[in-house]
Amino acid sequence: MIRSSLTAKLRQGRGKQFARRVRNQGMIPAVLYGPGKESRNLEVNPKDLTRAISTKAGENTLIDLTVEGEAARVVLLRELQVDTISREYLHADLYEVPMDKKVKVLVPIAVRGEALGVKEGGILDQIIREIEVSCLPTEIPEQLEVDVSALKIGGAAHAKDIPLPPGVEIMVDADQTVAMVAAPRKEEELAPAVPAAEAAPEEPERIGEKKPEGEEGEEKAESGKEKAPKEKAPKEKAPKEKGEAPKEKEKKPKERDKK
């Protein structure tokens, strides 16, 4: 089992204000706890923590933690809070593990082999990528492998198909699906989606373009009868304007007679 080392200092005070002060000093707040142990507030150098877990075992690495000259104790990194934007560490939870008792950890799953169904055109889908196991701290595997070579289209590998090292027990349902080979989609199922995808970008390109006269005529015919009166409305007002013009001509001769 891979092991690394880490040093830490006791942290005075609790709360956001003290945690912010610790980060401003280039450290991150951490807490140390364990079964039957009182929790302790610590300060940890983020670079040292990164170095401690930069192994093949990752967060399952056993860490020999030394706190200000005290005797080293074995811990596991249980939780690491990371800023979503800067990706800087914000807080770490360190769990002191009893070396003679089993612990529960998440172990990565690796797929081995090329499935028969994939060779026939199927698609391999890994449903879960890590699995919870129980074992002694010194027996934590770096990863577990599942062989998918014999899987045909529609076949699946389950948790019970994963070979386990001695002393390691899987803590999930034995019938939990780990990976499966799905059938390829038929061409007729994909065909209707292609014209729709091609037609979508063409519509914005037509905005503002002048349409042929034939197309404009068809749109007017399909627009309904309600628009017809609006187009004829100016023609109904025309006779009224013509009727007013002769009245002005009749007034002009009268004015000349008076002169």
Query: The pTM is what?
Result: 0.67
Most confident of 96-100, 191-195, 236-240, 243-247: 96-100
pLDDT digits (tens, 9 = 90+) for 185-202: 765 554 555 454 444 444
Higher pLDDT, 196 or 153: 153
Asked whether the beta carbons of 4 and 55 are under 8 A apart, the reply is: yes
Asked whether the beta carbons of 78 and 137 are under 8 A apart, the reply is: no
CA distance 180 to 184: 13
In the prediction, which pLDDT does 14 show? 77
Residues of the chain by 3-state class (helix, strand, coil), percent to 5: 35, 30, 35
Average pLDDT, the chain: 80
Is pLDDT of 135 > 70? yes
Is pLDDT of 228 > 90? no
- 95 by Cβ neighbours in 10 Å (0-12 / 13-18 / 19+) ranks as middle
In the prediction, which pLDDT does 186 show? 67
- Indicate the pLDDT class of residue 248, thresholds 50, 70 and 90: very low
Is pLDDT of 176 > 60? yes
Is pLDDT of 233 > 60? no
What is the residue-wise DSSP string for 171-210?
A: -S-TT-EEEEEEPPPPHHHHTTHHHHHHHHHHHHHHTTPP
Asked whether the beta carbons of 22 and 43 are under 8 A apart, the reply is: yes
Residue 1 neighbours by CB distance under 10 Å: 13
97-110 average pLDDT score? 96
pLDDT digits (tens, 9 = 90+) for 9-66: 998 877 788 888 899 999 999 999 999 889 999 999 999 999 999 999 999 999 999 9
In the chain, the domains with their CATH numbers are 3-97 (2.40.240.10), 104-185 (2.170.120.20)
In the prediction, which pLDDT does 189 show? 53
Q: Give the N- to C-terminal CA distance of the chain in Å, as an integer.
A: 127
Sheet holding 177-182, edge to edge: 123-126, 177-182, 156-158
In the prediction, which pLDDT does 199 show? 46
CA distance 63 to 94: 9
